[in-house]
Structure 1
Amino acid sequence: MRAKRLVALNYYIQQRKSVSLDELCSHFKVSKNTIRRDINLIIANGTIEKVYGGVKSLVNSELVTFEHRHITNHDSKEAIATTAASLIEDGDFIFIDSGTTTVGLIEQLPPTIQLTILTNSLDIINVGATFQNIRLLLVGNTYKAETRSFVGLNMTRMISKYNITKAFMAASAVSIENGLTNSDLMEYDIKRTIVSRATTTYLLADYSKFNKATLLTYADFEEINVLITDKPLPPGYQHFCDAHQITVITSPITY
């Protein structure tokens, strides 16, 4: 119950940018002492700070349009997707996350491959439907046009019945301190549950995503097993990956 309130509390603050303690107490129907304890936990994630009489957001929760993100760093994303596709084998049961990096992954698969794909991405569904031997499963019950994805709350029970061998995840931003972050509460629920269920979790992230944070942390950095990126990591990241047995694969752009 408290974990869900913390997520909802963080989301509420980020949406309003700045909010008083009295408003938070009224909205969540809890005491001021409870709100203060919750705020202290959220502050540790670096997404909010205290101000006189309340709190304010420290992150930019605005989503760039999917079309613009698809153009940004296109070559880097294509290189990462090509490498990720090479790690998929016949018989795998994989999850492919929504996002402009992961969407290119399915386009790199051989046409005869046989596997099952669980996804919440409209683009993955559309491309996957052209493969004769790919079985498609959809997660999410509400379509979100801005990200071309299906989202939903309380997806844990539905996702938990699947034994996912490989999960290919995207993130709006990545940092050692705040982990893998995104900006949507309903996507957060799906991403968090997928990471907890997958045998191997792959993060697909180009250089522009590092040392940043957005609204919600859906996984700690050390929860991933393989990081696929396009350039040498920022200072400290390689040491962190080595210490936590995270395999780093660099996929440079080829012309």
Structure 2
Amino acid sequence: MPSSHLKNMHKRHEKIVDLLRQYESCNVSVLAQELGVSTVTIRHDLDELEQSGCIRRSYGRATLSQNFSFELEFREKENIRSESKQLIARRAADLVENGDSIIVDSGSTVALLARYIASNKKITLMTNALNLASELVADPRFTVMMTGGTLRADSYSLCGPEAEQAVRLHHFNKLFIGADGIDLLAGVSTTNAQDAQLNRAMLAACDQIILLSDSSKFGKRSFCVICKMPQVDILVTDSGISDEYRQALTQMGVTVIVAE
């Protein structure tokens, strides 16, 4: 499928989700009119969103699934479950070794990681997060690289083809990444298509994939899949993880670390 077609489809999916958030439910004809496309196209989009678990359809109308994960602005995310996020970031920092080259994705939990890395370690760190780069600009522990790309003001992050190309030109020991949703079947997901595409480039450029997430993200799905769970090497989470989730992830080959 051509990249332009995929981009248009993802934009429509995002708009559909926005409309369902605004109106709670919509029928096909209203969505087609709002997006300026045919009802056939809308039905195909709704099929995709329903299969991914993002929406529910009943009596000709679509509504968001209760398990759908919304994107919040960065400052909103910072204030949610902040204690758990600090515990997770502190524990994840222990996984960084002296001399490592790492990618740290944008996100409220992974943004805390760098401050907990031991002072005697020297690290090369690439990030697409403006807030993180500005925090580390004078920190002697880090050689900081930025991806470049297009700025997303709501997440303080860079994305797009330029960011993806910058990642592909390098190789790293570890990737520290967050998520908007984590589902045993759907995998790791986020709400933004460009973020997901950059995240997939990051996965391909790293030896080890380390996912940082508080337990509130479990069972949640967004419509942009980053990867399936078996691709994750290590999950660092909080004590809210259920025995069912922990056992299932372990069977998939994911090492689960509970930060307490």
Q: Into which bin does the TM-score normalised by the smaller protein fall? A: 0.7 to 0.9
| TM superposition shift of 1:238 | 1.9
Alpha-carbon contact 1:99-1:170 (below 8 Å) kept: yes
Percentage of matched positions with identical amino acids: 22
1:13 correspondence with 2:27: no
C-alpha separation between the residues in 2 aligned to 1:204 and 1:195?
14
Alignment of 1:118-129 (within 5 A): 118-129=126-137
Alpha-carbon contact 1:13-1:57 (below 8 Å) kept: no
Aligned to 1:251: 259
Alignment of 1:90-239 (within 5 A): 90-153=98-161, 155-231=163-239, 233-239=241-247
- Find the residue that maps to 2:197 and give its secondary structure: helix
C-alpha separation between the residues in 1 aligned to 2:13 and 2:206?
26
- Find the residue that maps to 2:140 and give its secondary structure: coil
- Find the residue that maps to 1:201 and give its secondary structure: strand
Alpha-carbon contact 1:6-1:42 (below 8 Å) kept: no
- Find the residue that maps to 1:103 and give its secondary structure: helix
Aligned to 1:45: 52
C-alpha separation between the residues in 2 aligned to 1:35 and 1:154?
31
What is the aligned counterpart of 1:66 among 55, 61, 74? 74
Q: Which moved more, 1:35-44 or 1:163-172?
A: 35-44
Per the normalisation by structure 2, the TM-score is 0.82
| TM superposition shift of 1:79 | 1.2
C-alpha separation between the residues in 2 aligned to 1:21 and 1:167?
43
Label 1:217 to 1:140 Cα distance change in 2 as closer, same or farther (>3 A): farther
- Find the residue that maps to 1:165 and give its secondary structure: strand
Residue 52 of structure 2 aligns with an amino acid whose one-letter code is N
**CA RMSD after TM alignment:** 2.9
Residue deviations 1:69-119 (CA, integer Å, cap 9, x gap): 222222211111111111111221111111111111100122342221111
Residue deviations 1:224-253 (CA, integer Å, cap 9, x gap): 11000111522431222222211011111x
Residue 51 of structure 2 aligns with an amino acid whose one-letter code is A
C-alpha separation between the residues in 1 aligned to 2:10 and 2:244?
28
Q: Which moved more, 1:98-107 or 1:57-66?
A: 57-66
Label 1:234 to 1:9 Cα distance change in 2 as closer, same or farther (>3 A): farther
C-alpha separation between the residues in 2 aligned to 1:117 and 1:89?
12
TM superposition outliers: structure 1 runs of 4+ over 4 Å: 21-31, 34-39, 51-56, 59-62
- Find the residue that maps to 2:172 and give its secondary structure: coil
Equivalent residue pairs, number: 251
